[in-house]
Structure 1
Amino acid sequence: MSRAFVKETDGDLPGDLPELPVSPHPNYVTARGLELLRTRLADAARRRGERDLPAIERAHIEREMRWLRARIESAMVVTPGGGALEQVGFGMRVEIADADDRRFRYRIVGEDEADPERGLISHVSPLARALLGARIGETRVWPRPAGDLEVEVVALDAGP
Protein backbone atom coordinates (compact mmCIF):
# COMPACT_ATOMS: atom_id res chain seq x y z
CA MET A 1 0.00 0.00 0.00
CA SER A 2 1.23 3.50 -0.80
CA ARG A 3 2.50 5.51 2.21
CA ALA A 4 0.22 8.32 1.00
CA PHE A 5 -2.75 6.42 2.40
CA VAL A 6 -1.23 5.39 5.72
CA LYS A 7 -2.14 7.39 8.83
CA GLU A 8 1.08 8.55 10.47
CA THR A 9 1.43 8.60 14.23
CA ASP A 10 3.05 11.40 16.20
CA GLY A 11 6.17 9.27 16.53
CA ASP A 12 6.60 8.99 12.75
CA LEU A 13 6.22 12.64 11.78
CA PRO A 14 8.98 14.63 13.54
CA GLY A 15 11.81 13.19 11.48
CA ASP A 16 9.89 13.91 8.29
CA LEU A 17 9.64 17.68 8.82
CA PRO A 18 11.60 19.57 6.18
CA GLU A 19 13.82 22.36 7.45
CA LEU A 20 12.51 25.90 7.13
CA PRO A 21 14.10 27.68 4.15
CA VAL A 22 16.86 30.18 4.88
CA SER A 23 17.07 33.19 2.59
CA PRO A 24 20.03 33.30 0.20
CA HIS A 25 20.34 37.08 0.77
CA PRO A 26 22.71 38.65 3.29
CA ASN A 27 20.96 38.69 6.67
CA TYR A 28 21.03 42.43 7.34
CA VAL A 29 19.05 43.35 10.43
CA THR A 30 18.31 46.42 12.48
CA ALA A 31 19.09 46.28 16.21
CA ARG A 32 15.32 45.95 16.75
CA GLY A 33 15.15 43.11 14.21
CA LEU A 34 17.89 41.18 16.01
CA GLU A 35 16.13 41.65 19.34
CA LEU A 36 12.87 40.36 17.80
CA LEU A 37 14.66 37.21 16.61
CA ARG A 38 16.14 36.64 20.07
CA THR A 39 12.72 37.14 21.67
CA ARG A 40 11.17 34.63 19.27
CA LEU A 41 13.91 32.10 20.13
CA ALA A 42 13.33 32.55 23.88
CA ASP A 43 9.58 32.15 23.37
CA ALA A 44 10.11 28.97 21.34
CA ALA A 45 12.40 27.56 24.04
CA ARG A 46 9.73 28.30 26.65
CA ARG A 47 7.06 26.58 24.54
CA ARG A 48 9.32 23.56 23.98
CA GLY A 49 9.62 23.14 27.75
CA GLU A 50 5.85 22.81 28.26
CA ARG A 51 4.69 19.50 29.71
CA ASP A 52 2.69 16.99 27.69
CA LEU A 53 3.63 18.60 24.39
CA PRO A 54 2.74 16.31 21.46
CA ALA A 55 5.80 15.03 19.60
CA ILE A 56 4.82 16.73 16.36
CA GLU A 57 4.42 20.10 18.07
CA ARG A 58 7.79 19.67 19.80
CA ALA A 59 9.35 18.84 16.42
CA HIS A 60 7.86 22.01 14.89
CA ILE A 61 9.20 24.12 17.74
CA GLU A 62 12.67 22.54 17.54
CA ARG A 63 12.74 23.15 13.78
CA GLU A 64 11.73 26.79 14.38
CA MET A 65 14.49 27.11 16.97
CA ARG A 66 17.12 25.77 14.53
CA TRP A 67 15.94 28.32 11.95
CA LEU A 68 15.99 31.17 14.49
CA ARG A 69 19.50 30.23 15.67
CA ALA A 70 20.70 30.23 12.06
CA ARG A 71 19.16 33.66 11.46
CA ILE A 72 20.67 35.07 14.67
CA GLU A 73 24.12 33.60 13.91
CA SER A 74 24.12 35.04 10.39
CA ALA A 75 22.69 38.43 11.40
CA MET A 76 24.66 41.52 10.42
CA VAL A 77 23.39 44.51 12.39
CA VAL A 78 23.30 47.63 10.24
CA THR A 79 22.58 51.05 11.66
CA PRO A 80 21.69 54.07 9.55
CA GLY A 81 24.65 56.38 9.06
CA GLY A 82 24.89 59.40 11.33
CA GLY A 83 25.13 63.00 10.22
CA ALA A 84 23.43 64.38 7.15
CA LEU A 85 21.00 62.06 5.44
CA GLU A 86 22.01 62.13 1.83
CA GLN A 87 20.58 58.96 0.36
CA VAL A 88 18.23 56.09 1.13
CA GLY A 89 19.92 53.32 3.09
CA PHE A 90 19.16 50.29 5.20
CA GLY A 91 17.30 51.05 8.42
CA MET A 92 16.12 54.45 7.24
CA ARG A 93 12.57 55.68 7.05
CA VAL A 94 11.83 57.09 3.62
CA GLU A 95 8.84 59.09 2.50
CA ILE A 96 7.89 58.86 -1.15
CA ALA A 97 5.25 60.57 -3.26
CA ASP A 98 3.62 59.49 -6.50
CA ALA A 99 2.54 61.75 -9.38
CA ASP A 100 -0.76 62.51 -7.58
CA ASP A 101 1.22 63.57 -4.47
CA ARG A 102 -0.03 60.55 -2.50
CA ARG A 103 2.57 59.95 0.17
CA PHE A 104 3.85 56.70 1.58
CA ARG A 105 6.30 56.12 4.44
CA TYR A 106 8.41 53.01 4.79
CA ARG A 107 11.39 51.87 6.83
CA ILE A 108 13.83 49.55 5.08
CA VAL A 109 14.57 46.60 7.38
CA GLY A 110 15.74 43.00 7.33
CA GLU A 111 13.66 40.22 5.83
CA ASP A 112 12.58 38.82 9.20
CA GLU A 113 11.44 42.21 10.49
CA ALA A 114 9.46 43.17 7.40
CA ASP A 115 5.78 43.96 7.92
CA PRO A 116 4.48 46.02 4.99
CA GLU A 117 1.18 46.79 6.73
CA ARG A 118 3.20 48.57 9.43
CA GLY A 119 5.42 50.31 6.88
CA LEU A 120 8.39 47.97 7.33
CA ILE A 121 9.73 46.68 4.03
CA SER A 122 12.48 44.16 3.42
CA HIS A 123 15.71 45.41 1.90
CA VAL A 124 15.26 42.81 -0.86
CA SER A 125 11.72 43.93 -1.77
CA PRO A 126 11.24 45.54 -5.17
CA LEU A 127 10.45 48.92 -3.61
CA ALA A 128 13.48 48.91 -1.31
CA ARG A 129 15.77 47.85 -4.15
CA ALA A 130 14.39 50.69 -6.26
CA LEU A 131 14.89 53.23 -3.48
CA LEU A 132 18.28 52.25 -2.04
CA GLY A 133 20.83 54.91 -2.90
CA ALA A 134 18.25 57.48 -4.03
CA ARG A 135 18.55 61.07 -2.85
CA ILE A 136 15.81 63.48 -1.80
CA GLY A 137 14.15 64.86 -4.92
CA GLU A 138 15.19 61.88 -7.03
CA THR A 139 12.55 59.77 -8.77
CA ARG A 140 12.68 56.00 -9.03
CA VAL A 141 10.44 53.39 -10.62
CA TRP A 142 8.70 51.06 -8.17
CA PRO A 143 8.08 47.78 -10.03
CA ARG A 144 4.73 46.43 -8.81
CA PRO A 145 2.47 43.59 -9.95
CA ALA A 146 -0.23 46.22 -10.63
CA GLY A 147 2.18 48.12 -12.88
CA ASP A 148 5.24 50.27 -12.44
CA LEU A 149 4.83 53.45 -10.41
CA GLU A 150 7.21 56.38 -10.53
CA VAL A 151 7.84 57.79 -7.07
CA GLU A 152 9.89 60.68 -5.73
CA VAL A 153 11.90 60.53 -2.52
CA VAL A 154 10.61 63.48 -0.46
CA ALA A 155 12.10 62.86 3.00
CA LEU A 156 14.55 60.66 4.89
CA ASP A 157 14.82 59.89 8.58
CA ALA A 158 17.30 57.66 10.39
CA GLY A 159 15.54 57.90 13.76
CA PRO A 160 13.85 55.02 15.56
Structure 2
Amino acid sequence: MNKAFTKEDDGGGPERLPDLPISPHPNHVTPRGLAALKARAAALEAEVGRLRAEQETASDLTPLAVAERDLRYVEARVSSAILVTPPEAPERVQFGTTVVVVDEEDREATYTIVGEDEADPEKGLITHVSPLARALLEAEPGDVVDWVKPTGTVALEVLEVRGPE
Protein backbone atom coordinates (compact mmCIF):
# COMPACT_ATOMS: atom_id res chain seq x y z
CA MET A 1 0.00 0.00 0.00
CA ASN A 2 1.21 3.48 -0.78
CA LYS A 3 2.60 5.22 2.34
CA ALA A 4 0.52 8.32 1.52
CA PHE A 5 -2.61 6.38 2.47
CA THR A 6 -1.45 5.09 5.84
CA LYS A 7 -1.85 6.80 9.18
CA GLU A 8 1.42 7.59 10.90
CA ASP A 9 1.78 7.29 14.64
CA ASP A 10 1.88 10.75 16.18
CA GLY A 11 3.61 9.69 19.36
CA GLY A 12 0.71 8.18 21.26
CA GLY A 13 -1.16 11.37 22.10
CA PRO A 14 -4.92 11.64 21.86
CA GLU A 15 -6.51 12.08 18.47
CA ARG A 16 -7.38 15.73 17.91
CA LEU A 17 -11.13 16.21 17.85
CA PRO A 18 -12.66 18.65 15.36
CA ASP A 19 -13.12 22.14 16.74
CA LEU A 20 -16.53 23.19 18.02
CA PRO A 21 -18.35 25.59 15.69
CA ILE A 22 -17.86 29.29 16.41
CA SER A 23 -20.83 31.62 16.01
CA PRO A 24 -20.65 34.02 13.06
CA HIS A 25 -22.06 36.83 15.24
CA PRO A 26 -19.86 39.41 16.97
CA ASN A 27 -18.83 37.99 20.35
CA HIS A 28 -20.29 40.66 22.62
CA VAL A 29 -19.85 39.83 26.31
CA THR A 30 -20.86 41.44 29.57
CA PRO A 31 -18.19 41.89 32.26
CA ARG A 32 -19.72 38.92 34.09
CA GLY A 33 -19.74 36.86 30.88
CA LEU A 34 -16.07 37.62 30.18
CA ALA A 35 -15.12 36.69 33.74
CA ALA A 36 -17.02 33.39 33.37
CA LEU A 37 -15.24 32.62 30.08
CA LYS A 38 -11.84 33.32 31.65
CA ALA A 39 -12.68 31.16 34.67
CA ARG A 40 -13.81 28.36 32.37
CA ALA A 41 -10.55 28.65 30.39
CA ALA A 42 -8.51 28.42 33.60
CA ALA A 43 -10.49 25.37 34.76
CA LEU A 44 -10.02 23.68 31.38
CA GLU A 45 -6.28 24.45 31.40
CA ALA A 46 -6.03 22.77 34.80
CA GLU A 47 -8.06 19.80 33.55
CA VAL A 48 -5.87 19.42 30.45
CA GLY A 49 -2.77 19.54 32.65
CA ARG A 50 -4.17 16.89 34.98
CA LEU A 51 -5.21 14.64 32.10
CA ARG A 52 -1.83 15.00 30.37
CA ALA A 53 -0.12 13.96 33.59
CA GLU A 54 -2.31 10.86 33.67
CA GLN A 55 -1.84 10.19 29.95
CA GLU A 56 0.95 7.64 30.52
CA THR A 57 -1.34 5.37 32.55
CA ALA A 58 -4.70 6.15 30.95
CA SER A 59 -6.09 3.64 28.48
CA ASP A 60 -8.78 6.03 27.20
CA LEU A 61 -7.44 9.35 25.91
CA THR A 62 -10.89 10.64 24.91
CA PRO A 63 -11.30 12.85 28.03
CA LEU A 64 -8.03 14.62 27.21
CA ALA A 65 -9.07 15.15 23.58
CA VAL A 66 -12.42 16.55 24.71
CA ALA A 67 -10.81 18.88 27.25
CA GLU A 68 -8.29 20.13 24.67
CA ARG A 69 -11.08 20.75 22.15
CA ASP A 70 -13.15 22.62 24.73
CA LEU A 71 -10.13 24.68 25.75
CA ARG A 72 -9.49 25.68 22.12
CA TYR A 73 -13.13 26.81 21.86
CA VAL A 74 -13.08 28.85 25.08
CA GLU A 75 -9.72 30.44 24.23
CA ALA A 76 -11.12 31.47 20.83
CA ARG A 77 -14.17 32.99 22.52
CA VAL A 78 -12.02 34.90 25.04
CA SER A 79 -9.73 36.22 22.30
CA SER A 80 -12.67 37.36 20.15
CA ALA A 81 -14.64 38.86 23.06
CA ILE A 82 -15.94 42.40 22.66
CA LEU A 83 -16.55 43.73 26.16
CA VAL A 84 -19.73 45.78 26.45
CA THR A 85 -20.31 47.47 29.79
CA PRO A 86 -24.02 48.19 30.21
CA PRO A 87 -25.15 51.57 31.52
CA GLU A 88 -25.94 51.85 35.23
CA ALA A 89 -29.29 53.59 34.68
CA PRO A 90 -30.49 52.73 31.18
CA GLU A 91 -33.50 54.41 29.63
CA ARG A 92 -33.97 51.71 26.98
CA VAL A 93 -33.19 48.02 26.51
CA GLN A 94 -29.56 47.51 25.54
CA PHE A 95 -27.00 44.75 25.66
CA GLY A 96 -26.39 43.82 29.30
CA THR A 97 -29.57 45.40 30.64
CA THR A 98 -32.42 43.64 32.39
CA VAL A 99 -35.97 44.17 31.16
CA VAL A 100 -39.28 43.34 32.82
CA VAL A 101 -42.15 42.68 30.43
CA VAL A 102 -45.78 41.62 30.63
CA ASP A 103 -47.57 39.63 27.94
CA GLU A 104 -51.18 39.72 26.74
CA GLU A 105 -52.24 37.37 29.56
CA ASP A 106 -50.69 39.58 32.28
CA ARG A 107 -47.75 37.21 32.87
CA GLU A 108 -44.60 39.07 33.86
CA ALA A 109 -41.16 37.91 32.84
CA THR A 110 -37.67 39.28 33.41
CA TYR A 111 -34.88 38.92 30.85
CA THR A 112 -31.27 40.04 30.72
CA ILE A 113 -29.68 40.53 27.29
CA VAL A 114 -26.27 38.81 27.29
CA GLY A 115 -23.68 37.24 24.99
CA GLU A 116 -24.12 33.82 23.43
CA ASP A 117 -21.81 32.01 25.86
CA GLU A 118 -23.56 33.51 28.88
CA ALA A 119 -27.10 32.75 27.72
CA ASP A 120 -29.28 30.54 29.91
CA PRO A 121 -32.96 31.00 29.00
CA GLU A 122 -34.19 29.12 32.07
CA LYS A 123 -32.51 31.82 34.20
CA GLY A 124 -33.83 34.64 32.01
CA LEU A 125 -30.44 35.22 30.34
CA ILE A 126 -31.10 35.56 26.61
CA THR A 127 -28.57 36.01 23.86
CA HIS A 128 -28.56 39.33 22.03
CA VAL A 129 -29.07 37.54 18.71
CA SER A 130 -32.25 35.73 19.76
CA PRO A 131 -35.59 36.81 18.26
CA LEU A 132 -36.81 37.89 21.71
CA ALA A 133 -33.78 40.08 22.37
CA ARG A 134 -33.95 41.61 18.90
CA ALA A 135 -37.61 42.49 19.52
CA LEU A 136 -36.76 44.09 22.87
CA LEU A 137 -33.57 46.00 21.98
CA GLU A 138 -34.03 49.79 22.03
CA ALA A 139 -37.51 49.55 23.62
CA GLU A 140 -38.35 51.86 26.51
CA PRO A 141 -40.78 51.44 29.42
CA GLY A 142 -44.32 51.72 28.06
CA ASP A 143 -43.39 50.42 24.60
CA VAL A 144 -45.17 47.37 23.21
CA VAL A 145 -43.05 45.11 21.04
CA ASP A 146 -44.00 42.14 18.89
CA TRP A 147 -42.08 38.95 19.59
CA VAL A 148 -42.41 36.71 16.55
CA LYS A 149 -42.36 33.06 17.61
CA PRO A 150 -42.91 29.91 15.56
CA THR A 151 -46.30 29.54 17.27
CA GLY A 152 -47.36 33.12 16.53
CA THR A 153 -46.69 36.71 17.52
CA VAL A 154 -46.78 37.75 21.17
CA ALA A 155 -47.17 41.37 22.22
CA LEU A 156 -44.96 42.33 25.17
CA GLU A 157 -45.20 45.57 27.09
CA VAL A 158 -41.94 46.82 28.56
CA LEU A 159 -42.53 47.66 32.22
CA GLU A 160 -39.01 48.37 33.44
CA VAL A 161 -35.41 48.51 32.24
CA ARG A 162 -32.56 48.10 34.74
CA GLY A 163 -28.79 48.18 34.63
CA PRO A 164 -26.55 45.33 35.72
CA GLU A 165 -27.38 43.60 38.97
Structure 2 length as normaliser, TM-score?
Answer: 0.84
Structure 1 residue 145, shift from structure 2 partner: 2.5
Q: Which has the larger radius of gyration?
A: 2
Aligned residue in 2 for 1:60? 66
Amino acid at match of 2:54: D
Residue 18 of structure 1 aligns to a residue whose secondary structure is coil
Q: Does 1:151 align with 2:153?
A: no
**Is contact 1:113-1:120 (8 Å) kept?**
yes
* Gaps in structure 2 of 5+ consecutive residues: 1-11
Q: Counterparts of 2:151 and 2:27 in 1: how far apart (Å)?
A: 28
**Is contact 1:14-1:60 (8 Å) kept?**
no
Q: Counterparts of 2:14 and 2:147 in 1: how far apart (Å)?
A: 43
Structure 1 residue 12, shift from structure 2 partner: 8.9
Q: Does 1:100 align with 2:102?
A: no
Structure 1 residue 82, shift from structure 2 partner: 4.0
Q: Counterparts of 1:13 and 1:159 in 2: how far apart (Å)?
A: 42
Aligned residue in 2 for 1:25? 25
Residue 21 of structure 1 aligns to a residue whose secondary structure is coil
Structure 1 residue 159, shift from structure 2 partner: 2.9
User: After the TM superposition, which residues 68-147 of structure 1 pair with which residues of structure 2 at under 5 Å, given as runs?
Assistant: 68-83=74-89, 85-147=90-152
Amino acid at match of 1:95: V
- After superposition, the C-alpha distances for 1:91-126 in whole angstroms (9 at most, x for unaligned) are 000001112221000000000000011110000011
Aligned residue in 2 for 1:44? 44
Q: Counterparts of 2:13 and 2:85 in 1: how far apart (Å)?
A: 45
**Is contact 2:88-2:164 (8 Å) kept?**
no
Residue 71 of structure 1 aligns to a residue whose secondary structure is helix
Q: Counterparts of 1:39 and 1:145 in 2: how far apart (Å)?
A: 36
Structure 1 residue 81, shift from structure 2 partner: 2.2
**Is contact 2:47-2:67 (8 Å) kept?**
yes
Aligned residue in 2 for 1:8? none
Amino acid at match of 1:105: T
| Percent of matched pairs sharing the same residue | 47
Tell me how large the CA RMSD over aligned residues is: 1.6
- After superposition, the C-alpha distances for 1:102-159 in whole angstroms (9 at most, x for unaligned) are 1000000000000011110000011000100111111111122232111011100003
* Gaps in structure 1 of 5+ consecutive residues: 1-10
Q: Counterparts of 2:35 and 2:88 in 1: how far apart (Å)?
A: 21
